[in-house]
Amino acid sequence: MASEITYAEVKFKNASPAAVVEVPPEMKKHEHHPQKYPPWLPWLISLLLVLVCIALVIVLLGRGWMCCPRGWKRFQGSCYYLSDDMMGWAESKQNCTEMGSHLVVINSEAEQDFLTKDLKQSSKGKNYYIGLSAQKVGQWQWVDQTPLNEAAAFWRTNEPSNVDAEMCVVIHAIPVIDNWNDARCERHYRICEAAAVTV
């Protein structure tokens, strides 16, 4: 004979609901509350990032724009001024200094070529002082105290004369690159050179 199984739900009176176990405060997990930031902080961070990017672009792309004073011509990192009046060599040197420059110091064939082409377009004069002179015959020195590098010298044929009467150097306004001549330190035009301003 088969037996039947009966299930019943039994409820007890006076039974307390499931006991709630209190966990001591030091055992509770710290709840994560997001930090509240001031509303302007994201804008400040964005601005700083933009400024850093601009600074990097300037550094990586190199220098900014170079410019020269009005009436001066720029070549590479320098500005050049061709005078429209004549002075002696010492006065020419002083005049350039008063303009925050110096008589031109020619360091390369590219610079010499630039000046030769610029002089060709000038209708002012034929001879312009450069910053080369000698205290003793044949000992040529630039105004910045560097000695003449003979590999970067552009003397005309049969020049310099190397005589006591000709201790200053002029550049001739002729269309050939070898156009330097030692000359008397009398009245000539002048070429001043200054560093270009970077903005």
- 42-92 tens-digit pLDDT: 778 878 888 886 766 665 565 568 899 999 999 999 999 999 999 999 999
- 189-195 and 127-134 strand pairing: parallel
**Where exactly are the structural domains of the chain?**
66-198
Average pLDDT over residues 17-29: 56
Q: What is the pLDDT of residue 32?
A: 58
66-198 in CATH: which number?
Answer: 3.10.100.10
Measured CA to CA in angstroms, residue 113 lies from 145, 163, 188 at distances of 23, 27, 21
Ramachandran bin of 35, using left for φ above 0, alpha for ψ from -120 to 50, beta for the remaining angles: beta
